[in-house]
Amino acid sequence: MSEKSGGVREWVIPFAFAMCAGWVIWHGPAYILDFFPHANESMTAQITELHERKDVSPGLSGMFGGVMDIIDWAALLLLPIILVLGMRNVAHAEMEYEGHTRLDLFALFLGRVTMMLIISMTLVMLYEVFLRYVIEAPTLWANELTLWIAGFVFLVSGIYAMQQRCHIRIFILYDILPRPLRKACDVISVVLLCMFAFFLVFGSYNQVFAIKFHRWEMFGTAFDPPIPATIQPMILIVVCLVAIQAVLNLIADWHQNPDDMHEELVDEEELEAIKKSVGAN
């Protein structure tokens, strides 16, 4: 992993991943028809009609006897390739947590993808403001697209936050405990998190994947994005990834001194700015 941040690759690779993922998500009905076909003919006809209505490349024919065209296949196959390239080219930034391992590269790369999503969301909002207040011709899609991207940003950034150890933690009781009890608390917290992830997936898997995803439930508006069909499955996926990242954090931090870790997590410049703002010496 590179120790210097910046460079074109830091922008291009995450953006390419976001673009391929966006294409795959938008053309979800095509993948459902080819990989997860419905036994019900009426449901198949409904998904087919939805695909034909939302297809960005309607002039291209399907490949291998299916619905997916060459761009659908290319976007799907490029996703793991770009992911590997992105993980190999992640550059560590100065403000990031120092104790990363190779297993953390996935979360670090997702952090870069989240940054690209935030930029994309901002550009969509600026475009809508320009059209609405300058040309007086607002779009039907910008607000919902912003909402959709924001949902992914909120979810995916949780994985990065867990890897960076910047999620909310209360150390009042933890700091006064001896090291063995601190380790026990760490184990208990990770076990509870994994149990939460397990029961969340166990209790809602059928509703989310068999109904929301498999039927490709839409938002029901003029733009009609598949927010229910994508955000709800993403919640379950992200919760599982956060739990896995918590386990990786526990393993990586097992032999580290907690006091040293707390010092790394404190931003001294930010702390000094806060002190000045409240008039503290």
- Residues 87, 129 within the same domain: no
Q: Cα separation of 281 and 271, whole Å?
A: 12
- Residues 75, 127 within the same domain: no
> pTM of the prediction?
0.86
- pLDDT score at 259: 58
- Residues 130, 257 within the same domain: yes
- Residues 74, 151 within the same domain: no
- pLDDT score at 252: 87
The arithmetic mean of pLDDT across residues 237-252, rounded, is 94
Residues 6+ apart with CB under 8 A from 207: none
- For residue 105, being part of any structural domain is answered with no
- For residue 117, being part of any structural domain is answered with no
Query: Tokens 């059209």 label which residue?
Result: 131
- For residue 110, being part of any structural domain is answered with no
pLDDT in tens, 193-238: 999 999 999 999 999 998 899 999 999 888 999 999 999 999 999 9
- The number of domains in the chain is 2
- Residues 145, 229 within the same domain: yes
Confidence class for position 6, pLDDT limits 50, 70, 90: low
Is the separation of the CB atoms in 151 and 229 below 8 Å? no
Structural domain boundaries enclosing 243: 123-264
- Residues 86, 128 within the same domain: no
- Residues 47, 176 within the same domain: no
Helix 142-163, helix 105-130: angle, nearest 10: 160
The arithmetic mean of pLDDT across residues 62-84, rounded, is 94
Residues 6+ apart with CB under 8 A from 82: 13, 16, 17, 20
- Between 9 and 248, whose confidence is greater? 248
- pLDDT score at 156: 94
The arithmetic mean of pLDDT across residues 55-78, rounded, is 93
- For residue 204, being part of any structural domain is answered with yes
- For residue 31, being part of any structural domain is answered with yes
- Residues 80, 142 within the same domain: no
Residue finishing a domain among 79, 95, 111 = 95
- For residue 67, being part of any structural domain is answered with yes
- For residue 208, being part of any structural domain is answered with yes
The arithmetic mean of pLDDT across residues 172-198, rounded, is 89
- Residues 49, 168 within the same domain: no
Q: Cα separation of 252 and 165, whole Å?
A: 12
In the 3-class helix/strand/coil scheme, how is the chain assigned residue by residue? CECCCCCCHHHHHHHHHHHHHHHHHHCHHHHHHHHCCCCCHHHHHHHHHHHHHHCCCCCCCCCCCCCCCHHHHHHHHHHHHHHHHHHHCCECCCCCCCCCCHHHHHHHHHHHHHHHHHHHHHHHHHHHHHHHHHHCCCCCCHHHHHHHHHHHHHHHHHHHHHHCCCCCCCCCCHHHCCHHHHHHHHHHHHHHHHHHHHHHHHHHHHHHHHHHHCCCCCCCCCCCCCHHHHHHHHHHHHHHHHHHHHHHHHHHCCCCCHHHHHHHHCCHHHHHHHHHHCCCC
- Residues 40, 141 within the same domain: no
- Is pLDDT above 60 for 75? yes
- Residues 130, 204 within the same domain: yes
Is the separation of the CB atoms in 48 and 100 below 8 Å? no
The arithmetic mean of pLDDT across residues 161-187, rounded, is 83
Residues 6+ apart with CB under 8 A from 26: 54, 56, 226
- Residues 71, 193 within the same domain: no
Residue of 81, 67, 93 whose CA lies nearest to 16: 81
**CB atoms < 10 A from the CB of 167, how many?**
11
- For residue 272, being part of any structural domain is answered with no
pLDDT in tens, 88-121: 988 877 777 777 778 889 999 999 999 999 999 9
